[in-house]
Amino acid sequence: MLQINNLTKTFYAGTANEKLAMDHLSLQVEKGEFVTLIGSNGAGKSTLFNLIAGSILPDGGSVVLDGEEITFLPEYRRAKQIGRIFQDPMKGTAPSMTVAENMALSYQRTSGRKLGFGISKKERSLFAEKLRTLGLGLEERLDAPIGLLSGGQRQAVALLMCTMAAPKLLLLDEHTAALDPATAEKVQQLTEEIVRQGQITTLMITHNISSALRMGTRTLMLDAGRIVMDLQGSQREQMTVPKLLERFGQGLDNDRFLLTREQPNVPSNDQN
């Protein structure tokens, strides 16, 4: 279970550029829930992820994961419990290292196994078995530098790396946004399968409203660092893109949302 209590964060406090990014936000996510997050640019989505992951620290409030307060725990300590995949396929993996070496580093970090002098045959067999489940033929490319893989292949491997030793929480930060439509759909399917099989508590940021309503079990909308919509159960099942736009469209008019088609948005350099 993830509990966020009264979380606050202000950037550039006391200057002309002061921005309240997180406005006393509280949220409880039950174990195994798959929550999708939407909101306009600057709504606080990535700031929330950074606060949960420990990339930045809050001004106030707390973050509790499975009963343990992690609010001020160093990011590297949280990495054993929290997996995160970014929009950029180049992040999260070491391009000059092989697929097997990348998986070994992730496996050792999350499983608590100490670094050794090489990858054992047992580990190679495990990595090949995991890669085979992706259906991309990557089990035959264990010794290939991961930087030579396509963006979609790298995201699929990154997803596998984050979930080999099931994390307590998985953060997906627009992880299909930079992929072409067909590849994005494949990675989305893999995401749903891995999350469902592992019963992994998951938060996913997306600018594709249709995907947000289709994937997972619950949808949140953020605005100005606050939760302004929380859809779950029958209310979510009955929600459509037109209905959502009718209720909240004013705040989305100038944003880069994809409203109807299951296609990824174009990459953006904005900080939200």
Give the burial string for 92-105 (b: 16+ CB within 10 Å, else e): bbeeeebbbbbbbb
Residues with Cβ within 8 Å of 221's Cβ and at least 6 positions away in sequence, in order, are 37, 38, 39, 43, 227, 228, 229, 248
Domain 2-81+167-251 has CATH 3.40.50.920: no
If the chain, 272 residues long, is cut into consecutive pieces of 10 residues, what is the mean pLDDT of each piece?
98 95 98 95 94 97 97 92 90 92 84 66 93 92 95 92 90 91 88 93 94 95 95 94 80 48 39 48
| pTM, rounded to two decimals | 0.88
